[in-house]
Amino acid sequence: MSTITFKGTRDGLVVTLGENSWTDTISELATQLQRPNAQSFFRGARVLLETGSRALDGLQLEELSALFAQYNMTLAAVAGEGSPPILLDAMRQAPPPPESIPLELAHATPPNPPLPTAPVLLVQRTVRSGQRVDFAGAVIVIGDVNPGAVVAASEDVIVWGKLRGVVHAGAPSNDEAMVGALILAPTQLRIGRYIARAADDKRPRNLPAEVARVREGRIVVEPWSGA
């Protein structure tokens, strides 16, 4: 029996997940999307996902997002009961083109590369010990990242709160990514291929917001000037 429902609205296609197990849900969704007449109906749709009482983690969101992408659909927003994360598609501006491209990269780049529009995952809750947010794109946390929690993103990580867990921006190897937080006191901070551990001294609270990036081969932390 089908537990997933689809409803077309002006804002996009509302997909409501049922109460089935995660694996059943994913395989049922795949079957539904594959149906020949469904394909033309869904193609290119902007999906608003209703998760009900189910709490999805970053990996599950990625799995869904990838499945929708196969049918040219974009996962635009996620809503559920409680305090859900909301996924915003293509919120970021494309970065300006780099001034000079290293030779081997220049050769590898197709003549008209598609504009990179990294998706942004907005997490509107505190990420607690034992919880992990993994996302292909940038992550914004409105809340704290507590000790014992992990946030990993292929782009920037911004924490509008206290960052005290483990954070990896630019995972696995994008050294251009940055980490910003109102209070930046991670247990361990990684950017791309670089790694920094927390200073052992107990720093005073209420520092100005800070941002960490890689400069000249090491991670440096500086006040967040808003740039």
Partner 1 sequence: MASQVITITSGKGGVGKTTATANLGIALAQRGRRVVCLDADIGLRNLDVVMGLENRIVYDLVDVIEQRAHLRQALIQDKRLPELFLLPAAQTREKTAINETQMRALCAQLKTEFDFILVDSPAGIEHGFKNALAPADQVLVVVTPEVSSVRDADRIIGLVEATEKPAPQLILNRMQPTLIKRGEMLDIADVLEILAIELIGIVPEDETIITSANRGQPAVLLDHSAAGAAFIRIARRLLGEQVPFGALEEPSLLARLANFFRR
Write out the residues near partner 1 by the rule CB under 8 A: 53, 55, 81-83, 125-126, 128-131, 144, 146-148, 162, 164
Strand locations in the chain (E): 5-9, 12-16, 46-50, 74-79, 86-88, 120-123, 132-135, 138-142, 150-153, 157-163, 166-169, 179-184, 188-191, 194-197, 210-215, 218-223
**Nearest distance from residue 104's CB to partner 1, in Å?**
44
**146/154 with CB nearer partner 1:** 146
Amino acid at 119: P
**10/205 with CB nearer partner 1:** 205
Of 79, 15, 69, the C-alpha closest to 43 is 69
Q: What angle do CA 170, 64, 53 make, to 5 degrees?
A: 110
H/E stretch holding 108: helix 103-108
With tokens 């409501």, the residue in question is 16
**Nearest distance from residue 181's CB to partner 1, in Å?**
15
**144/155 with CB nearer partner 1:** 144
**Nearest distance from residue 177's CB to partner 1, in Å?**
26
**Nearest distance from residue 81's CB to partner 1, in Å?**
6
Strand, helix or coil for residue 106? helix
**For residues 84 and 57, is the Cβ–Cβ distance under 8 A?**
no
**Nearest distance from residue 128's CB to partner 1, in Å?**
3
**5/83 with CB nearer partner 1:** 83
